[in-house]
Every structure is written in structure tokens, then in C-alpha cells.
């Protein structure tokens, strides 16, 4: 929809245009609520993670510091915000590449495992993927859904893209 009808607005506009004003209203407020919940979950997780490394510091200190940093970044000029976004994205992609390389090192060369490669035999030994039944896989879907949250932002930015028919499919 964002490719065929690019608009500089939220995807709730698509619901409004195709299903009516009530659907657009509900979609918009549901998305707003979802973003608030995810933001709260993210800063809470940050506080918990930092509590592992710095147990003497209360979690609320980390949560408050992240909220203040995010507010400060959002109050900066667009140029500075764009530069920060570039570097944050760079570090995110670099971290993913490092994690993939580390995973390959662990599997192939046994790095961190006394030089004993772990290999891929665990994929089918000890019961394989579903050694404890389907429940474990079903329970993991909540983490998968959370990991893919945010991809809808691609559709929101479609109206601001120079050539949405070309750039939006590439973004997916």
C-alpha cells in the first residue's frame, strides 16, 4: 500500500481511507499505545541489563538517564540528529556483523570453548529443534514478534521517499 499510495502520514491513514474513519482512529491510537509500551519495555530492559554490570546503581537511575538522553537527542537540530542516527545505525550494523563473525568462530573453530568446535550437530541431536515439544517454539514467537516490531516505520516514511516504488521494496 505504501508503494502504490505513498503519503506523508501514518499507516492509520490507509485504514481510514479503505475501512473508514473509525478504523483509522482505532489504528492510530492503538499504534500510539503500542509505541509507548515498547518504549517503556526498552528503557526498563536497559535498566535491568545495566543492573547486571553495575548492581550498586538502582535501575531507575539507568531508566531516567536513557529517557533524558533520548529527550536531549530529540531536541537537537535535524542535522545533528541525522548525524547521530547515522552513527547509531553504523554501530548497530557493525555489532550484528561482529556477532555473526563470533558465532561462526564459536561453531567452526571453538573460540571460547577450549578450541573444541561446537559444530552444527546440535540442530538434530538431543531431540533436534523441538526436543521439548512445540510449546517452546510457540513461546519463542513473542520474542520474534518483538524483534520485528518497528518495521512498519518503512511504510510511514514512504510519502517522504524520492522514489517509493524503488526504495520501499529495497528497505524491506
- pLDDT tens-place string over residues 55-75: 999 999 999 999 999 999 989
In a domain, 158, yes or no: no
Residue 123's pLDDT is 76
The domain in which residue 68 lies consists of: 1-75
Q: Give dist(CA 97, CA 44) in Å, integer.
A: 26
Taking residues 78-92, report their average pLDDT: 90
In a domain, 38, yes or no: yes
In a domain, 2, yes or no: yes
Q: Give dist(CA 76, CA 97) in Å, integer.
A: 30
In a domain, 172, yes or no: no
Burial 24-35 (b: 16+ CB within 10 A, else e): beebbeebeeee
In a domain, 151, yes or no: no
> How many domains in the chain?
1
The CA distances from residue 123 to 51, 114, 131, 142, in Å, are 33, 21, 10, 22
In a domain, 29, yes or no: yes
Q: Which residue has the cell 568462530?
A: 105
Amino acid at each position: 500500500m505504501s508503494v502504490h499510495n505513498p503519503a506523508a502520514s501514518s499507516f492509520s491513514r490507509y485504514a481510514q481511507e479503505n475501512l473508514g474513519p473509525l478504523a483509522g482512529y482505532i489504528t492510530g491510537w492503538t499504534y500510539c499505545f503500542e509505541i509507548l509500551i515498547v518504549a517503556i519495555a526498552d528503557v526498563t530492559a536497559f535498566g535491568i541489563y545495566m543492573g547486571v554490570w553495575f548492581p550498586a546503581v538502582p535501575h531507575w537511575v539507568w531508566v531516567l538517564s536513557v529517557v533524558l538522553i533520548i529527550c536531549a537527542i530529540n531536541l537537537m537540530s535535524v542535522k545533528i540528529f541525522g548525524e547521530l542516527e547515522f552513527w547509531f545505525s553504523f554501530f548497530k550494523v557493525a555489532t550484528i556483523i561482529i556477532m555473526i563473525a563470533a558465532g561462526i568462530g564459536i561453531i567452526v573453530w571453538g573460540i571460547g570453548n577450549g578450541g573444541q568446535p561446537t559444530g552444527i550437530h546440535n540442530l538434530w541431536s538431543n531431540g533436534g529443534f523441538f526436543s521439548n515439544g512445540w510449546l517452546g517454539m510457540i513461546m519463542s514467537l513473542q520474542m520474534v514478534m518483538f524483534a520485528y516490531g518497528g518495521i512498519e516505520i518503512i511504510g510511514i516514511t514512504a510519502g517522504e521517499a524520492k522514489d517509493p516504488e524503488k526504495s520501499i521494496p529495497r528497505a524491506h
